[in-house]
Structure formats: structure tokens, C-alpha cells
């Protein structure tokens, strides 16, 4: 670490640094709190989505047991006609958000298909919508975790390293300057006494 010059100029610099650093800390702390709140919301949304998907799977199992004998691929019935994802700004962090989503059941023959396919289609649309939202919330969570880690590191750097180090330097400089002042006073008194003795001799 660079050695600090123990003088008034450095004292002024270090004092200025502490003031500047202390201005950053509240802003960083506020950003961290906003990111924490957004992360908690994303986690809650993922949890709710998982619960809804589980409920839909149970509904399919209970109401449509005949699906087990369905020869086709049920997941191929849904057509994603439109999905628009925009970016929303949260304290300088761009997060994805679905702004438009259009899903439809792919056309199938009513004559050759079982009557329960309509009900299955409606459930699949719900499930697909939730799954797509889950992907977005997982991406948001990933971005929020990275931003939170970076913000916490910066906050710790100011709060636990830079500010304490600058304050330590200030204390050290003040002690040295105070000692120098006392030494100057003592030296001045000695010189004065020597002059007086010389004049009296």
C-alpha cells in the first residue's frame, strides 16, 4: 500500500475523500435495498408459478386420465403466435418483462379427435403461459443476483475499506501534526531561553 505523506495537504485530501465516500454509501445502500426487494418479488413469482404448474398437472391427471393413451404429443398442440419481451429499468439494471403474449391451440380435426381435447388445450395454454413467465422470472433473478453481488461488494468497499482507511490516515496525520506543533513550541521556548541567557551574559 502507498505510504501516506503526513502533512496538512494530505490531511485535506483524506478529509475530502471521506466526505465524497460517505455521499456514495446511502445511494448504494438504497440501490441494494431496491435490488433485494425486486429479488424477493422475483423469487415469490417463481414460487407461485411453480405452485400453479403443479396444480395444473394435478388437474390434468385427475380430469384427463385418458391422456396417458393419447397417441400424439400433447405439448405440440400449442402455438406461440406472439411473444414480446421489453426491458424495464430498475436502478440502472435492465430487466426483461413480457409485454405481449398470444397463444393458440393448433388446428385439429374435430371429427377424428376426442371431445376432451378442447379442455386439454385450455389447460395447456395456461401451463405454457406460466412456463414462459417462469423463464423470464428466472432470467430476472439471475440478473438481480449478479447486480446485488456487485452492489454489495461496492458498498463493502466504501463502508469497510476506503472510509476506515481514510479515517485512519486522518487520525495518524493529526497525531503527527499535533506532535510537530508541540515540538515547534518546545523548540521555540528553548531558543527564546538561549537568547535571553545570551543577552544577560
Most confident segment among 65-79, 154-168, 173-187: 154-168
CA distance 60 to 157: 53
Asked if residue 165 has pLDDT above 70, the reply is: yes
Contact 35, 150 (CB under 8 A): no
Please give the average per-residue pLDDT across 177-197, as a whole number.
76
Give me the pLDDT at residue 142, please: 97
Per-residue pLDDT of 78-117, as tens digits, reads 888 999 999 999 999 999 999 999 998 887 655 556 666 7
Identify the band that residue 2 occupies on the pLDDT scale cut at 50, 70 and 90. low
Identify the band that residue 189 occupies on the pLDDT scale cut at 50, 70 and 90. confident
Asked if residue 11 has pLDDT above 60, the reply is: yes
Contact 84, 70 (CB under 8 A): no
Contact 124, 78 (CB under 8 A): yes
For residue 67, give the DSSP letter. Answer: G
Amino acid at each position: 500500500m502507498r505510504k501516506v505523506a503526513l502533512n496538512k495537504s494530505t490531511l485535506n485530501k483524506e478529509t475530502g475523500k471521506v466526505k465524497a465516500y460517505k455521499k456514495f454509501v446511502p445511494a448504494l445502500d438504497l440501490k441494494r435495498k431496491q435490488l433485494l426487494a425486486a429479488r424477493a418479488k422475483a423469487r415469490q413469482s417463481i414460487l407461485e408459478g411453480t405452485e400453479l404448474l403443479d396444480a395444473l398437472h394435478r388437474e390434468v391427471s385427475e380430469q384427463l386420465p385418458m391422456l396417458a393413451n393419447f397417441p400424439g404429443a400433447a405439448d405440440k398442440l400449442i402455438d406461440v403466435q406472439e411473444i414480446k419481451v421489453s426491458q424495464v429499468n430498475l436502478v440502472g439494471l435492465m430487466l426483461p418483462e413480457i409485454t405481449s403474449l398470444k397463444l393458440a391451440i393448433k388446428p385439429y380435426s374435430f371429427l377424428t379427435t376426442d371431445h376432451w381435447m378442447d379442455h386439454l388445450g385450455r389447460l395447456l395454454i395456461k401451463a405454457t403461459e406460466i412456463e414462459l413467465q417462469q423463464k423470464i422470472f428466472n432470467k430476472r433473478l439471475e440478473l438481480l443476483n449478479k447486480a446485488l453481488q456487485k452492489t454489495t461488494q461496492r458498498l463493502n468497499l466504501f463502508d469497510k475499506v476506503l472510509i476506515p482507511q481514510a479515517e485512519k490516515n486522518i487520525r495518524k496525520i493529526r497525531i503527527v501534526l499535533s506532535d510537530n506543533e508541540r515540538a515547534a513550541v518546545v523548540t521555540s521556548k528553548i531558543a527564546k531561553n538561549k537568547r535571553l541567557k545570551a543577552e544577560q551574559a
